[in-house]
Amino acid sequence: MAILQQATIDAIKQNESALLASWIENLGDGGSLNDSRISREDVSRQAREFLSLLVTASANGDAADLTRSEWLDSRQFLEALSRSRAMQGFDSQHTAHFIFSLKRPLFDLLQKAYAADPRALSSELWMISELLDTLGMHTIRSFQKSREEVILRQQEELLELSTPVVKLWEGVLALPMIGTLDSQRTQVVMESLLQRIVETGSEIAIIDITGVPTVDTLVAQHLLKTVTAIRLMGADCIISGIRPQIAQTIVHLGLDLGGIVTKANLADALALALKRSGLTVTKAAG
Amino acid sequence: MDRIPILRMGEFLLVTIQVDMHDQLALTLQDDLSTKINEISAKGVLIDISALDIVDSFIGRMISMISGLSRILDAETVVVGMQPAVAITLVELGLTLSGVSTALDVERGMKLLRERVRSL
Residues of chain A neighbouring B97 (CB-CB closer than 8 A) = 232
ipTM here? 0.83
Q: Cβ contact (<8 Å) for B87 and A233?
A: yes
Q: What's the pLDDT score for residue A266?
A: 92
pLDDT band at A2 (very low <50, low <70, confident <90, very high): low
Q: What's the pLDDT score for residue A63?
A: 66
Task: Report pLDDT digits (tens) over B83-120.
Answer: 999 999 999 898 888 888 999 999 999 999 999 888 87
Task: Report pLDDT digits (tens) over A56-74.
Answer: 887 776 766 777 777 888 8
A61 closest CA partner among A50, A53, A102 = A53
Residue A205 reports pLDDT greater than 90? yes
B33 touches chain A (CB under 8 A): no
Q: Cβ contact (<8 Å) for B84 and A195?
A: yes
Residues B53, A233: Cα–Cα separation, whole Å: 13
pLDDT band at A1 (very low <50, low <70, confident <90, very high): very low
Instruction: Please give the average per-residue pLDDT across A247-274, as a whole number.
Output: 87
User: Given 3.30.2420.10, 3.30.750.24, 3.40.640.10, 3.50.40.10, which CATH number is that of B6-119?
Assistant: 3.30.750.24
CB A24 within 8 Å of CB A89: no
Residues of chain B neighbouring A228 (CB-CB closer than 8 A) = 91, 96
Q: What's the pLDDT score for residue A253?
A: 85
DSSP calls for chain A: --PPPHHHHHHHHHTHHHHHHHHHHHHHHTTSSS-TTS-HHHHHHHHHHHHHHHHHHHHHS-TT-TTSGGGHHHHHHHHHHHHHHHHHT--HHHHHHHHHTTHHHHHHHHHHHTTT-HHHHHHHHHHHHHHHHHHHHHHHHHHHHHHHHHHHHHHHHHHHHT---EEEETTEEEEEEES---HHHHHHHHHHHHHHHHHHT-SEEEEEEEE-----HHHHHHHHHHHHHHHHHT-EEEEE---HHHHHHHHHHT---TTSEE-SSHHHHHHHHHHHTT----PPP-
pLDDT band at A51 (very low <50, low <70, confident <90, very high): confident
Q: What's the pLDDT score for residue A200?
A: 92
Residues A106, B27: Cα–Cα separation, whole Å: 82
Q: What's the pLDDT score for residue A33?
A: 64
DSSP calls for B57-86: HHHHHHHHHHHHHHHHTT-EEEEE---HHH
Task: Report pLDDT digits (tens) over A124-183.
Answer: 888 888 888 888 888 889 888 988 988 899 888 877 766 788 999 999 999 998 887 777
Residue with the larger pLDDT of the pair A41 and A274: A274
Residue A31 reports pLDDT greater than 70? no
A169 DSSP β-pair partners: A172
Percent of all residues in chain A with a pLDDT value above 70, rounded to a whole number? 95
Residues of chain A neighbouring B90 (CB-CB closer than 8 A) = 229, 232
Span between the terminal Cα atoms of chain A, in Å: 95
Q: What's the pLDDT score for residue A203?
A: 92
CB A237 within 8 Å of CB A230: yes
Decide if domain A166-276 falls under CATH 3.30.750.24.
yes
Residue with the larger pLDDT of the pair A255 and B94: B94
| Domain chopping of chain A, boundaries | 6-157, 166-276
Q: What's the pLDDT score for residue A34?
A: 67
Q: Cβ contact (<8 Å) for B84 and A194?
A: yes
Q: Cβ contact (<8 Å) for A232 and B92?
A: no
Residues A85, A139: Cα–Cα separation, whole Å: 10
Top-level class of domain A6-157: mainly alpha
Q: What's the pLDDT score for residue B32?
A: 92
B94 touches chain A (CB under 8 A): no
